[in-house]
Amino acid sequence: MTFDDVAPPCPEPTRAAGEAAMQAFAPRMGRLYAARRNVDRGAGRHRDVSTLSPFIRRRLLLERDVVATALAHHGDAGAEKFVQEVIWRGYFKGWLERRPQVWASYRDGLQRDLMALDRDRRLRRDVDAAEAGRTGLACFDAWATELAETGYLHNHARMWFASIWVFTLGLPWRLGADFFLRHLLDGDAASNTLGWRWVAGLHTRGKPYAAQAWNIAKFTDDRFTPRAADLAEVTSGLEAEEPDGLPDLLALRAPIAPDPGKSSVLLITEEDCRPEDFDLSGLDLRGAATLISSHLRSPRPVSDAVQAFEAGALDDTAARSNLAVTGMRAGVPGDLARWAARAGAAQIVTPYVPEGPLRDWLTEAAPALEAAGITLTEWQRDWDRLIWPHATAGFFKVKKQIPRILREAGLA
């Protein structure tokens, strides 16, 4: 299981910086990565994991290109583990697309947890202590501080942290997931929500992830040596929260494709900062805009670092587009229709927006768009089409399809 395997990203949120980081890490994408990727060396010393997922999350880097780079340097066998970790991300995205009810449940449950936080002084005290790194458990406190200060946690530390939050500290899992989403530069609705659910025993039903003292000591090179008694013994997960089990699988949402014959405006969001990969020249473009939306991640304040990375990525995308681009912020959903109507557009074109906060906002904007006679259209990437249909159960079903996915992506 992976949340998102990253090290502290290059501070420059640009396509060029992402491509440079990919090439720099390429020699380490093989057997060295497989052997050492689970070791959490500590803040600023995570050299055995990639620095790429803040770029991949916004598609400043494409998953296909990262996989191609790994295969070119290390071959199928050498790059196997790295390729699997990249495809985990696509698996989680597809899984949530097939079960959007899980995102809605998280969103609604978080609202209830935040209301409880307002009412319950003891809960508020305990959550504040956990987020501030004041629990007295050295490893957990160090990870909380690193997350808040750098926007990063090693993937293994994310799993330990989530397990301790849920089972040792006994805190609501959604509040922990919200803490991550507000601070992680690579924060993503699918990877984050499903990662926390996996730890809690809700994703893979009845199989929670237990943080264990020996495991923390081994994979932090003894930087932390908690006692077994410091951590809860985990024998069961939170399945009782969802007695009916997982919701039914739904068909993948079929986006409306752009119509070249209609007047259009281009909407650029952090969900995909590579609109240049699509056929812009065939469109009757009347305008373009970037949409700031990372503040939608949570009802609570999202970190300055996350918002700055998003703004920089959108600025870089606008500069590469060679278009006159307007800057917008996701506020009143009706603003989207007003912007498109002022430009004289009959359709908005944008790369696919998956389940998550921005998709919720676009759903709220739909009635105003319909009233104005404006259609929201989306391009969908082939990479997603290859992975998402297989994301129906556990990762093993997707893993079995990796040779076929690579072959159909032209990478075999």
Question: Which residue blocks in 120-188 are alpha helix, DSSP H?
Answer: 121-132, 138-150, 155-163, 173-183
Give the confidence band of 128 by pLDDT, cuts at 50, 70, 90: very high
Q: How far is CA 296 from CA 306, 354, 359, 393, in A?
A: 12, 14, 10, 28
**What pLDDT is attached to residue 206?**
86
Q: What tens digit of pLDDT does each residue of 238-280 get? A: 999 999 999 999 999 999 999 999 999 999 999 999 999 999 9
Q: For the domain with range 109-241, which CATH number is right: 1.10.760.10, 1.10.579.10, 3.40.50.720, 2.40.100.10? A: 1.10.579.10
**What pLDDT is attached to residue 77?**
96
State residue 292 phi and psi, 5-degree precision. -70, 125
Is pLDDT at 179 greater than 90 in this prediction? yes
Please tell me the distance from the alpha carbon of residue 234 to that of residue 164, in angstroms, as a whole number. Answer: 10
State residue 223 phi and psi, 5-degree precision. -65, -35
**What pLDDT is attached to residue 210?**
97
Cβ atoms of 100 and 51 within 8 Å: the answer is no
Indicate the average pLDDT of the chain.
95
Q: For the domain with range 263-379, which CATH number is right: 2.160.20.10, 3.40.91.50, 3.40.50.620, 3.40.50.300? A: 3.40.50.620
Give the confidence band of 412 by pLDDT, cuts at 50, 70, 90: confident
Query: Which DSSP helix (H) or strand (E) runs through 291?
Result: strand 284-292
Please tell me the distance from the alpha carbon of residue 55 to that of residue 63, in angstroms, as a whole number. Answer: 10
**What pLDDT is attached to residue 3?**
52
State residue 235 phi and psi, 5-degree precision. -115, -20
* Averaged pLDDT, 109-129: 98
Question: Which residue blocks in 164-296 are alpha helix, DSSP H?
Answer: 173-183, 189-200, 213-219
Nearest to 253 by CA among 96, 82, 86, 410: 96
**What pLDDT is attached to residue 46?**
87
Q: How far is CA 207 from CA 173, 198, 236, in A?
A: 15, 8, 7
Give the confidence band of 11 by pLDDT, cuts at 50, 70, 90: low
Cβ atoms of 166 and 182 within 8 Å: the answer is no
Please tell me the distance from the alpha carbon of residue 153 to that of residue 287, in angstroms, as a whole number. Answer: 39
Is pLDDT at 123 greater than 90 in this prediction? yes
Q: What is the DSSP letter of 14?
A: S
* Averaged pLDDT, 329-356: 98
Share of the chain above pLDDT 90, in %: 94
Domain boundaries, the chain: 15-97+386-408, 109-241, 263-379
Nearest to 355 by CA among 62, 10, 94: 94
Is pLDDT at 4 greater than 60 in this prediction? no
* Averaged pLDDT, 224-251: 94
- Name the one residue in this structure whose structure tokens are 């998402």: 388
Is pLDDT at 7 greater than 80 in this prediction? no
State residue 377 phi and psi, 5-degree precision. -120, 155
Is pLDDT at 6 greater than 50 in this prediction? no
